[in-house]
Amino acid sequence: MGDLHIREHGSPSYKDLFSEISQAADILVLAGDLTDLGKPKEAELLATDLRSCSIPIVAVLGNHDYECGHVDEVKEIFEEAGVQLLEGQAVEINGVGFAGVKGFAGGFGRYMLGSFGEPAIKAMVAESVDETMRLENALRQVRSERAMVVLHYAPIPETLAGEPPEIFPFLGSSRLAETIDRFPVSAVVHGHAHRGTYEGRTPGGAPVYNVAAHIEKPTGKPYALLEL
């Protein structure tokens, strides 16, 4: 599940949902935008609810979690609540390797943004490439036969269908899929695209799931259940 967007005021409690997930699943994976503005208070509210989860929790941060410039405090709060945050690392839980990064924008296929022109454009492309290299390093650490990639930004355009096409380049990058397809990956999850589509595949055939809480899923719940 992704894109909880916890606010200081007015957000629902997720305690009951996390308890329900603990009964249905072995591991909870959160695909970024855990907070709405990246405020430590927002992170504390979610951390309180996460303590009702009795299974391991793996997560990446999203763009909203960086908004206020308190990302280090936000990370610390989640880690103290037992969340294993992935920023270019891999962790193995119950025989499944989880490799995660936030990812970044940049576009898809032949329309992917190239490193040419103004320094600002080159900096944007460099950020996208850096996130991709982090993902590659994480995937190289995976030793288990089953592997899940955890992202916030999308690696393919198919799971963005439903969003305005004009904003696709800001929702993800094919660079992520190119890296994923160099490794044996069982599944990929991401969020970020609230109006997107639940399921797609990388060019190499790895299944990709948009698990933003707003996306309709086979469970009929805000969360998806995946068996690897």
> What does 111-169 look like in DSSP terms, one character per residue?
GPPPS-SSHHHHHHHHHHHHHHHHHHHHHHH--SSEEEEE-SSBSSSGGGBTB-GGGGG
Backbone angles phi, psi at 4, to 5 degrees: -75, -30
Which residues sit opposite 75 in a β-bridge?
none
Q: Give me 47's structure tokens.
A: 């951390």
pLDDT one digit per residue (tens) for the chain, 228 residues = 999 999 999 899 999 999 999 999 999 999 999 999 999 999 999 999 999 999 999 999 999 999 999 999 999 999 999 999 999 999 999 999 999 999 999 999 999 999 999 999 999 999 999 999 999 999 999 999 999 999 999 999 999 999 999 999 999 999 999 999 999 999 999 999 999 999 999 999 999 999 999 999 999 999 999 999
pLDDT attached to residue 77 = 98
Helix (H) or strand (E) holding 164: none
Residue 126 has a CB neighbour count (10 Å cut-off) of 13
For residue 154 the two structure tokens come to 């999308």
* Per-residue pLDDT at 110: 92
* pLDDT for 209: 98
Question: Of the candidates 210, 77, 125, 107, which has an alpha carbon nearest to the alpha carbon of residue 168?
Answer: 107
Whether the model pTM is above 0.85: yes
Owner of token pair 């690897």: 228
Contact predicate 216/195, CB 8 Å:
no
Per-residue confidence (pLDDT) for residue 74, from 0 to 100: 98
Predicted pLDDT at 84:
97
Write down how long the chain is. 228
pLDDT on residue 182: 97
Instruction: Please give the pLDDT value at position 146.
Output: 96
The C-alpha atoms of residue 120 and residue 126 are separated, in whole angstroms, by: 10
